[in-house]
A = this chain, B = another copy of it.
Amino acid sequence: MAMQNFTFSLPTRVHFGKGQIARIQKEIPADAKVLITYGGGSILKNGVMDQVRAALAGHSTVEFGGIEPNPGYETLMKAVQIVKEQGITFLLAVGGGSTLDGTKFIAAAACYDHAEDPWEILLTGSKHIKAALPLGSVLTLPATGSEMNSAAVITRYETKDKLSMASEHVIPRFAVLDPETTFSLPVKQTANGIVDTFVHTSEQYMTYPLDAQIPDRFAESVYTTLLEDGPKVMADGNDYSARANIMWAATMGLNRILATGVPQDWVSHAMGHELTAMFGIDHGRTLAITMPAVWDYCREDKKGKLLQFADRVLGICEGSEDDIIDAAIAAVRDFFTSLGCPCYLSDYDIDETAIPALVAKLTEHAKTGIGERQKITPEDMGKIYALALKGGADA
């Protein structure tokens, strides 16, 4: 076993640190007409938008707020309309992964001519995206890794569909990562971002061993950072150093460096997306439910990596292989729970009667033969949901 072939680059220019928002002035062409996109408006209160407006004082700008968590197709199409009406030439996403993902969709949809309705992008694996508006971002929520990658996840609320897109054309030109912009994050969003990064890492790491030293050890570095600095940012949101470590870890978690030469899983995400679409549970929180159950269900297929994780990240190496794996899964559930992200469907008052509908949606979204061995079916995923029904004494 050895590293698999891969192609890798990170063209996005990251400006990291205090005061870096000012850099956007030179990153965006002086003659651009800029659409500044944002979410619920926290950036209007915490000073981030003020910094953005100051940096772009000499630019022509239009602002578009209200992109929701799990960005909605219906909202984004309103922005596409503005882009076309006003001749927008550059997009600047100011916010978290949802704003950025939504802006990637806007960038592609504004240039999409393969079908009348750009929702087709989500239904055809993004293969007809031939161009997109250039975009950059000021990231305020470390979580999705969207700031340095080509992917986005979009939700269509009228049909409860949550689907992903990916295209080289929507990789951000630049991203400003100022840890100070995360000081004012609510505890819940901070926690969700930590869990999201943890599970991104796992989707690329927790498969089967290939003797791939760099991606494996880099992934273990991200895990260790989350385990050490996660509690620090939860305890003190103004701890710059810990915020910086979490922010850079989140970017590494999904900028594809952890995926160089190794197989990937993504079952936890497929299952989590259906929980968000059906029950409105925050993305990160759905992953705290699904990932430990995936590890449990796939413990034979993932055994080599589960033992490596237990040893190198948690320092657990005593007992039988099953004991070690049980202890590792329990430790991860304890970590997620300590962040306020419970790990069972019962914590959201969801019981086994929901599983058939979830499996039906997974089937509809053609999520079959997935995971690192392309063998996890919607039926398997139904069994995995069942493993996440109740914890502890209730199980």
Contacts and interface: CB of A to CB of B under 8 A. Distances in A.
A250 to B, nearest CB: 10
Contacts of A249: 213-214
A27 B261 CA distance: 21
A252 B248 CA distance: 16
A248 B261 contact: yes
Given A9-B11, A15-B7, A225-B214, A260 B248 contact: yes
Contact of A214 (B20, B210, B245): B245
Interface in A216-250: 217-218, 220-222, 224-225, 228-229, 240-242, 244-245, 248-249
Given A8-B16, A17-B3, A213 B240 contact: no
Interface in A243-278: 244-245, 248-249, 252, 257, 260-261
Contacts of A11: 9-11
Contacts of A8: 10, 13-14, 16
Given A2-B241, A3-B248, A16-B3, A224 B213 contact: yes
A252 B3 contact: no
The CB with the most chain B CB atoms within 10 A, among A20, A210, A241, A252, is that of A241
A211 interface: yes
A248 B214 contact: yes
Interface residues of A, number: 46
A393 interface: no
Contacts of A15: 5, 7
B3 A9 contact: no
Nearest to A5: B17
A7 B3 contact: no
A385 to B, nearest CB: 34
Contacts of A212: 244-245
A205 to B, nearest CB: 13
Given A213-B228, A221-B213, A225-B214, A16 B9 contact: no
Contact of A3 (B217, B228, B241): B241
A248 B228 CA distance: 27
16 contacts: A2-B241, A3-B16, A6-B16, A8-B10, A9-B11, A9-B14, A10-B11, A16-B260, A210-B241, A213-B228, A214-B225, A214-B252, A217-B224, A218-B221, A220-B221, A248-B260
Interface of A: 1-20, 23, 210-214, 217-218, 220-222, 224-225, 228-229, 240-242, 244-245, 248-249, 252, 257, 260-261
Given A6-B16, A212-B245, 16 more contacts: A1-B241, A3-B17, A3-B244, A7-B13, A7-B14, A7-B16, A9-B12, A17-B261, A211-B245, A212-B244, A213-B245, A214-B222, A214-B248, A218-B218, A218-B221, A220-B221
